[in-house]
């Protein structure tokens, strides 16, 4: 710990005599958790010495704050300690995790002490951003009230006063503290104002999803929801004094009023019908002050706009209104569907994440604005996010300047949800400590406490209502299903009473469908979630569970339950991380249990046909399932192609139709039209743009040689380490030969396809850019329609050669021509990583490293046929595996071979450009610290393509370790150099990132060697800091 931090910590300890746990240890940090597992709670029995220590510490703080003089402090401390000793009793307690029996005690605080205590507790509330106002917090002392009815009536009367017609006075309503035993008085309500949440028969929620259980619990006390029910029904207040039955009351009209959320610039906002109650009043939290635990202390304050606009109305697990707000702002799913890539999407969530984010971000900002504006129009106190954040940072700075240490804060809570545009987001390093007094959750749930003791309480549950200015008390009418236990629990055996729940009105359990997914990004997950919703909507009361593929255990699946799987494939043909454990066990499991699990299954694969590993994981999974006896339904495997659609909805919908038919007694065949694949090809091609070839580094066509091609892609921008799909085409001479062979006289005419979209294709375009004349026919059924011996056709020959060897086709009908065309293979793009930076070369100029493979459709046949100035179709790939490395400040170890150097080259060019720009302006070179360590392998004849960028990077100090490994007789590979530098690697890998790119064998071997070096699986240990790509 630095000396400044030590000094600050000493001042914290000196100024706060009682510090309690924040839930973190040297081995375990809970900073990312909303609720820490061992946070302090009220409702606990504490040893006598602890109570006395905390009482003394609290009174010392009163002295330090000027409430008492030194003499008054000493006198009062002695008096309090005697009082605690006098109250001492033996009670069960837990000390350091061990249950025991020991002495405890308590004492009574004066109103002045309690008032100062609640203010200190607010000041110490590390989760609250509005603590600068802690001295304004008022006390309503209700410690004389010891009945449930009294608690309900008093809190309603006093809250009305504190609300003050919208000019809210922050106030704590303090009821009697917990004695030396029991739970103390409690409120069932999480807040004094809550919207009800009603679970519907279809599983959806009407109202606030966070209050479904509370709504059910309050209904068990005799409350009847309004009819019809709505999203905005205010729940009653429920209070429960110590040793008393609960009492409840609906709120009076002036407190039940809500703020209607509108927007001055978007009149249609009103159509959403959004609203929220006027103030927050947390009622399940307690105050822990000087060893005295106040378990029933509701407190009223004012809202910060983001609590409502960014959280309550926007969170997906709450009201989830952002998609509806986006529609008000102009989001139109139909306009997106005009884009062929999105033609089959059904909702916003089917769009790529960046498209969703732009709309959700706008919606969030405008909804937050609408909340703030609406509260202002209503005249109800509400603070803005920026104001609250600025207020907090000022308060913290002033406190640090005065006391020498900063206020405690929990960054998870203290930073408003809008993030980095709010000042407090950037206040890293705030100490997260917890002094007492404090505000804490209750150890006991009030509803469960009532269920435990309801049979020991003779008092009735009461309903309280204000009529004509007077409170009227009635015995509550308990629903029949809850009468035995007054809470939905049977009074004789403690089991839950039967209700109309998920099993439906007849209580008959539906058939279960198991859904598993394995996803690299979000596509497979989105489709799996969509699949679950569709299964639950089927007639027949189907139940669906959704899990990652790693959790699938075939031995635990009921033979009657179908398994549906949605599986992505990584670039190297493996399962993503959340399916990798399952993949690792498949071989042994299939060998041990051949044919042993006759389970119905179907798989939807998510892959990209631009990669040679297209849907490899789903194919492997299909083979495994059949090997262990699985019974395929809906053909067993359907392959979705993200090269055609960002989210492959069309093929998913066809698969779902077959799955649905299988589960509901219909047919399970996947209906496909002959032209479907061609329609998808047309949609994919519409996403491609046209670039121009500026240069090729060499016309050398030897096997394995790397060629650098330079393209002009116009105004298209691209990021370093990103990918481009490049589409080969057929030579114009080849297209002309094919047209002559089929007897097509006018190449500008459209093909007579059945689909209107395909009828726009001319014969010339179709044979140049659509089908692959260098490939082989997919089937030869059309041969039966011509007078020709099928055995005379070499089915492995190219499409063009076969067409030219069948002179009978010169007089083919349009119908036969279409059948032949539909049997031709389609041209497919290939994906390449960019090897350049647009900042370095200029906007729209991109370099690509291509390894030549003899007979390769792109690298050999296409690339050798084009010259400078030729047009090349391209499309950007949205996913960038190494995107986080582009601007990362972590040390990067780059290990690559051959064309795997391309992404590293692009990153180096970006950094070289920054250095050259600084030089040109006469400024200091930008510090790229820590620098990069590079291990790169290549064929000796390709070395010139690597040298310039690497040497320039070294000259600018961008590389601290460089190992160039050309092919050599000793067969020493890049992996060996990494092993030879183990110590240096281990030093850099500790806090750094690793990028590995090359052939599959090298990438996997490198992962094995690095795992040996660090003593654990490098992929799992480094997580997102370990990135690998395969070319």
Position 421 scores a pLDDT of: 55
Strands (E), 531-599: 543-548, 563-568
pLDDT of residue 249: 96
Whether the predicted pLDDT of 944 surpasses 60: yes
Residue found by looking up tokens 């060697």 in the block: 1009
SS3 at position 309: helix
- Which pLDDT score, from 0 to 100, does residue 502 have? 34
Asked if residue 684 has pLDDT above 60, the reply is yes
Q: Which tokens is 378 given?
A: 């209503």
Give exposure, 45-79, as e/b (b: 16+ Cβ within 10 Å): bbbbebbbbbbbbbbbbbbeeebbeeeebeebbee
Cα 540 to Cα 531: distance, rounded to the nearest angstrom: 16
CB 539 within 8 A of CB 590: no
Q: What is the pLDDT of residues 137-155, one digit of tens each?
A: 999 999 999 999 999 999 9
**Distance in angstroms (rounded) separating the CA atoms of residues 612 and 121:** 62
Contacts of 984-991 spanning 24+ positions with Cβ under 8 A: 984/933, 985/893, 985/933, 985/1010, 985/1013, 986/1013, 986/1014, 988/891, 988/893, 988/930, 988/933, 989/893, 989/1014, 989/1022, 991/890, 991/891
Of 343-347, 626-630, 814-818, 926-930, the least confident: 926-930
Q: What is the mean pLDDT of residues 232-241?
A: 97
Confirm or reject CATH 3.40.50.720 for domain 883-1030, answering yes or no. Answer: no
Please tell me the distance from the alpha carbon of residue 142 to that of residue 296, in angstroms, as a whole number: 10
Separation of CA 13 from chain center: 39
Q: Give 586-600 pLDDT, tens digit per residue.
A: 999 999 999 999 999
Residue range 639-659: mean pLDDT, rounded: 87
Q: Token pair for residue 407?
A: 């206020």
E strand or H helix at 5: helix 3-15
Distance, CA of 668 to CA of 645 (rounded, Å)? 24
Residue 834 DSSP SS3:
strand
Predicted confidence at residue 646, as pLDDT, reads 79
pLDDT digits (tens, 9 = 90+) for 889-916: 788 999 999 999 999 999 999 999 989 9
Per-residue confidence (pLDDT) for residue 296, from 0 to 100: 96
| pLDDT for position 505 | 33
Give the separation between CA 806 and CA 788, rounded to whole angstroms.
8
Res 966 pLDDT > 70: yes
H or E element at residue 806: none
pLDDT band at 855 (very low <50, low <70, confident <90, very high): confident
State the pLDDT confidence band at 69, using cuts at 50, 70 and 90.
very high
- Backbone φ, ψ for residue 462 (5° rounding): -120, 145
Q: How far apart are CA 443 and CA 445, in angstroms?
A: 7
Residue 900, φ and ψ in degrees, nearest 5: -65, -10
pLDDT category at 481 given cuts 50, 70, 90 is: low
DSSP string, 686-737: HT-EEEEEEEES-----TT-EEEEEEE-TT----TT-EEEEE----HHHHHH
534 CB-near residues (< 8 Å, 6+ apart) = 656, 660
Round to whole Å and give the CA distance between 439 and 170.
15
Q: Do 632 and 601 meet the contact criterion of CB atoms below 8 Å apart?
A: yes
In our burial notation (b when 16+ CB lie closer than 10 A, e otherwise), range 596-606 reads: ebebbbbbbbb
Give the architecture (CATH level 2) of 512-672: 3-Layer(aba) Sandwich (3.40)
Assess whether pLDDT exceeds 80 at residue 625: yes
Nearest to 539 by CA among 718, 664, 377: 664
- Higher model confidence: residue 631 or residue 610? 631
What integer best gives the mean pLDDT of the chain? 87
* Dihedral sign computed on CA atoms, order 950, 951, 957, 959: positive
CB 283, CB 189: distance < 8 Å: yes
CATH class given for the domain over 683-729+829-877: mainly beta
pLDDT tier, 302 (very low <50, low <70, confident <90, very high otherwise): very high
Rg of the Cα trace of the chain? 35
Give the separation between CA 552 and CA 556, rounded to whole angstroms: 8
Give the sign of the dihedral formed by CA 266, CA 272, CA 278, CA 283: negative
Q: How many C-beta atoms lie closer than 10 Å to residue 960's C-beta? A: 15
What is residue 914's three-state secondary structure?
helix
| Least confident interval from 208-212, 281-285, 409-413, 448-452 | 409-413
pLDDT reading at 501 higher than 70: no
For the chain, give the longest Cα–Cα distance: 119
| Tens digit of each residue's pLDDT (9 = 90 or more) over 402-449 | 988 888 887 767 676 665 556 555 555 566 778 878 888 888 888 888
Q: How far apart are CA 813 and CA 818, in angstroms?
A: 9
Instruction: Determine the average pLDDT of the residues in 964-988.
Output: 90
Q: Stretch 681-693: mean pLDDT, rounded?
A: 88
CA distances to 80, 534, 628, 865 from 702, in Å: 94, 53, 45, 15
Q: Packing angle between helix 577-592 and helix 616-627, nearest 10 degrees? A: 30
> How many Cβ atoms are within 10 Å of 505's Cβ, its own excluded?
8
Q: Which tokens go with 686? A: 């519409």
- The pLDDT score that the predictor gives to residue 667 is 59
pLDDT tens track for 94-141: 898 899 999 999 999 999 999 999 999 999 988 888 888 999 999 999
Q: Distance (Å, rounded) from C-alpha 435 to C-alpha 414?
A: 17
The pLDDT assigned to 509 comes to: 43
Confidence band of 694 (pLDDT split at 50, 70, 90): very high
Percent of the chain with pLDDT over 90: 55
pLDDT of residue 367 exceeding 60, the answer is: yes
- Lowest mean per-residue pLDDT among 32-46, 699-713, 742-756, 940-954: 32-46
Q: What is the pLDDT of residue 674?
A: 66
Are 12 and 431 in contact, with CB atoms under 8 Å apart? yes
CA separation for the pair 552, 578 (Å, rounded): 11
Which pLDDT band, with edges at 50, 70 and 90, does 484 fall under? very low
Output the CA torsion sign for 56, 58, 62, 63.
positive
Asked whether the whole model's pTM tops 0.75, one would answer no
Measured CA angle at 335 (ends 330, 340), to 5 deg: 150
Q: Tokens in use for 530? A: 């969509």
Token output for 601? 């299954």
Question: Which H or E element spans position 1029?
Answer: strand 1026-1030
CA distance 446 to 452: 10
Alpha-carbon gap, residue 821 to 779, rounded angstroms: 11
User: So what's the pLDDT on residue 430?
Assistant: 66
Q: Are 183 and 242 in contact (CB under 8 A)?
A: yes
Helix, strand or coil for residue 565? Answer: strand
Q: Is the pLDDT of residue 486 over 60?
A: no
What pLDDT is stored for residue 424 in this prediction? 59
Q: How far lies 489's CA from each of 183, 225, 493, 724, in Å?
A: 21, 21, 8, 62
Q: Which residues in 384-528 belong to E strands, given as ranges?
A: 434-435, 438-442, 462-467, 470-475, 512-518
Cα(586)–Cα(534) distance, integer angstroms: 29
Collect all residues with Cβ–Cβ distance below 8 Å to 528 and sequence separation of at least 6.
515, 516, 517, 519, 546, 566
Contact, 567 vs 548, CB < 8 A?
no
Of 768, 771, 555, nearest to 677 by C-alpha is 771
Q: 160 pLDDT exceeds 70?
A: yes
For residue 8 the two structure tokens come to 């600050």
Tokens found for residue 650? 């069309």
Count the neighbouring beta carbons within 10 Å of the beta carbon of residue 940: 8
The answer to whether the beta carbons of residues 440 and 38 sit under 8 Å apart is no
């Amino acid at each position: 710990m630095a000396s400044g931090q030590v000094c600050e910590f000493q001042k914290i300890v000196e100024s706060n005599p009682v510090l309690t746990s924040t839930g973190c240890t040297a081995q375990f940090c809970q900073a990312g958790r909303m609720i820490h597992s061992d946070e302090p709670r009220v409702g606990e029995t504490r040893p006598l010495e602890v109570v006395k220590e905390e009482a003394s510490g609290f009174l010392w703080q009163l002295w330090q704050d000027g409430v008492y003089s030194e003499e008054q402090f000493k006198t009062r401390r002695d008096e309090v300690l005697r009082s605690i000793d006098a109250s001492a009793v033996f009670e069960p307690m837990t000390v350091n995790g061990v249950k025991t029996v020991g002495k405890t005690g308590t004492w009574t605080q004066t109103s002045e002490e309690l008032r100062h205590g609640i203010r200190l507790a607010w000041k110490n509330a590390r989760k609250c951003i509005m603590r600068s106002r802690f001295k304004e917090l008022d006390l309503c002392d209700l410690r004389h009230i010891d009945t449930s009815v009294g608690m309900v009536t008093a809190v309603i009367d006093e809250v009305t006063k504190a609300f003050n017609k919208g000019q809210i006075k922050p106030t704590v309503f303090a009821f009697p503290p917990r004695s030396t035993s029991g739970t103390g008085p409690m409120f069932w309500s999480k807040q004094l104002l809550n919207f009800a949440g009603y679970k519907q028969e279809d599983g959806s929620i009407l109202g606030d999803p966070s209050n479904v259980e509370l709504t059910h619990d309050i209904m068990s006390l005799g409350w009847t929801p309004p009819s019809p029910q709505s999203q905005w029904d205010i729940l009653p207040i429920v209070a429960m004094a110590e040793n008393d039955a609960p009492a409840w009351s609906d709120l009076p009209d002036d407190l039940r009023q809500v703020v209607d959320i509108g927007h001055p610039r978007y009149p249609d906002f009103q159509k959403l019908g959004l609203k929220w109650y006027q103030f927050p009043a947390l009622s399940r939290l307690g105050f822990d002050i000087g060893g005295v635990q106040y378990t029933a202390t509701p407190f009223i304050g004012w809202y910060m706009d983001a609590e409502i606009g960014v959280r309550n109305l926007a969170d997906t697990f709450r009201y989830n209104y952002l998609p509806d707000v986006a529609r008000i702002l102009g989001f139109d799913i139909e306009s997106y569907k005009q884009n062929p890539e999105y033609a089959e999407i059904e909702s916003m969530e089917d769009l790529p994440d960046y498209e969703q984010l732009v709309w959700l971000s706008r919606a969030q900002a405008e909804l937050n604005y609408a909340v703030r504006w609406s509260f202002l129009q209503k005249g109800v106190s509400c603070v803005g996010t920026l104001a609250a954040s600025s207020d907090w940072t000022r308060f913290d700075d002033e406190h640090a300047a005065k006391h020498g240490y900063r206020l405690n804060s929990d960054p998870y809570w203290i930073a408003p949800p809008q993030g980095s545009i709010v000042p407090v987001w950037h206040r890293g390093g705030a100490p997260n400590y917890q002094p007492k007094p404090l505000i804490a959750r209750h150890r006991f749930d009030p509803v469960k406490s009532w269920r435990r003791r309801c049979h020991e309480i003779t008092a009735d549950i009461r309903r309280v209502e204000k009529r004509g200015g007077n409170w009227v008390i009635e015995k509550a009418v308990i629903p029949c299903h809850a009468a035995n236990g007054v809470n939905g629990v049977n009074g004789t055996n403690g089991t839950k009473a039967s209700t109309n729940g998920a099993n439906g009105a007849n209580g008959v359990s539906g058939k279960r469908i198991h859904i598993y997914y394995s996803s690299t990004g979000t596509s497979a997950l989105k489709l799996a979630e969509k699949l679950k919703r569709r299964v639950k909507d089927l007639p027949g009361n189907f139940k669906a569970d959704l899990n990652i593929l790693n959790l699938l255990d075939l031995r635990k699946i009921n033979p009657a339950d179908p398994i549906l799987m949605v599986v992505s494939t990584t670039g190297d043909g493996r399962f993503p991380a959340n399916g990798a454990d399952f993949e690792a066990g498949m071989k042994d499991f299939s060998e041990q249990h051949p044919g042993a699990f006759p389970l119905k299954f179907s798989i939807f694969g998510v892959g990209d046909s631009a990669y040679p590993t297209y849907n490899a994981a789903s194919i492997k999974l299909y083979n495994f399932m059949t090997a262990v006896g699985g019974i395929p339904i809906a053909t067993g495997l359907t392959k979705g192609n993200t090269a055609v659609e960002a989210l492959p909805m069309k093929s998913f919908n066809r698969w779902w139709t077959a799955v649905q038919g299988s589960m509901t007694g219909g047919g399970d065949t996947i209906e496909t039209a002959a032209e479907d694949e061609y329609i998808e090809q047309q949609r994919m091609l519409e996403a491609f743009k046209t670039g121009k070839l500026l240069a090729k580094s060499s016309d050398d066509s030897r096997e394995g040689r790397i060629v650098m091609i330079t393209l002009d892609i116009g105004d298209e921008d691209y990021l370093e380490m990103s990918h481009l799909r490049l589409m080969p085409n057929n030579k114009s001479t080849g297209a002309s030969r094919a047209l002559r062979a089929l007897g097509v006289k006018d190449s500008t005419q459209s093909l007579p396809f059945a689909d209107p979209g395909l009828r726009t294709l001319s014969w010339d375009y179709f044979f140049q850019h659509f089908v692959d004349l260098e490939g082989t026919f997919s089937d030869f059924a059309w041969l039966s329609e011509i007078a020709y011996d099928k055995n005379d056709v070499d089915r492995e020959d190219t499409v063009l050669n076969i067409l030219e060897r069948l002179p009978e086709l010169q007089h083919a009908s349009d119908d036969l021509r279409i059948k032949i065309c539909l049997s031709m293979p389609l041209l497919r793009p290939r994906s390449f990583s960019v090897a350049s930076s647009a900042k370095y070369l200029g906007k729209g100029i991109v370099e690509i490293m291509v390894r030549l493979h003899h007979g390769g459709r792109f690298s050999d046949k296409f690339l050798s046929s084009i010259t400078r100035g030729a047009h090349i179709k391209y499309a950007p790939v949205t996913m960038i595996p190494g995107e986080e490395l582009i601007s990362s400040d972590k040390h990067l170890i780059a290990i690559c071979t051959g064309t795997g150097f391309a992404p590293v080259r692009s990153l180096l060019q970006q950094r070289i450009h920054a250095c050259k720009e600084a030089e040109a302006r006469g400024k200091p070179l930008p510090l790229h610290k820590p620098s990069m360590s590079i291990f790169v392998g290549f064929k000796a004849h390709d070395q010139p393509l690597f040298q310039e960028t690497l040497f320039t990077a070294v000259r600018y100090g961008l590389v601290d370790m460089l190992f160039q490994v050309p092919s050599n007789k000793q067969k020493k590979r890049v992996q060996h150099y990494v092993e030879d530098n183990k110590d240096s690697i281990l030093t850099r890998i500790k806090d750094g990132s690793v990028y590995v790119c090359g052939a599959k064998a090298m990438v996997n071997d490198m992962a094995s060697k690095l795992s040996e070096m660090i003593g654990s699986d490098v992929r799992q240990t480094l997580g997102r800091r370990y990135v690998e790509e395969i070319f």
